[in-house]
Amino acid sequence: MKQPADWECVRSETLADLRLFRARFDWMKNPRNGIVQQMIVLDSPDAANVVALTTEQQLLFVQQYRFGTSKSLLELPGGLVNTDEPRDAAAQRELCEETGYTGGQWHYLGSIPSNPVFMTNYIHYYLAEGVSLTEPLQLDEGEDLVVVAFPIEEVFQSWRAGAFQHPHTVNALLLFFAHRGLI
């Protein structure tokens, strides 16, 4: 299959530091016609999400309000990887902070670009099997969430029915169900 040629960045300008993102304009030259267009790019650290399976064979989720959709969503625990923090350590930290669960056997499920249209970061997915509740929640001051757990089959049916709306949760569950041979 023929691949399109790479675009050339002829100029880049930082716009703003938006806490989670750094916005910039890149002026990109189209290899097909030579026209230079201004593109917006958001730089952000990578993130780690966790499919956590408890010792009771329940999958852990967090229910939290999301400002972009103005509603509460059911999603997997996770968050940004700190500077100089290994991705697997970030996944373990986020699981503990958001749910209080630790331990278990950890497996890397893979990664995808967060939104390759205009974002630079990747989401890394981990499976933690056999986790147990050992710690109190350690939420950031901007977090307010509820931890819930469901049996695998119930999550599978909900996922198939399109009940999950956070794309990172949808992708993580796809990788998990493929790992388990369910799809």
End-to-end Cα separation, the chain, in angstroms: 27
Is the pLDDT at 19 greater than 90, yes or no? no
Structure tokens given for 123: 């989401």
Q: At what angle do helices 152-160 and 167-179 cross, to 10 degrees?
A: 120
Residue 180 to residue 26: CA distance in whole angstroms = 41
Q: Kindly report whether the global pTM for this prediction surpasses the value 0.85.
A: yes
The amino acid at 126: Y
8 Å CB contact between 59 and 53:
yes
pLDDT in tens, 35-75: 999 999 999 999 999 999 999 999 999 999 999 999 999 99
In the block, tokens 């373990």 appear at: 92
| pLDDT of residue 17 exceeding 90 | yes
Quick check: 128 and 53 in contact, CB under 8 A?
yes
Residue 26 pLDDT exceeds 90: yes
Tell me, what's the pLDDT at 13? 96
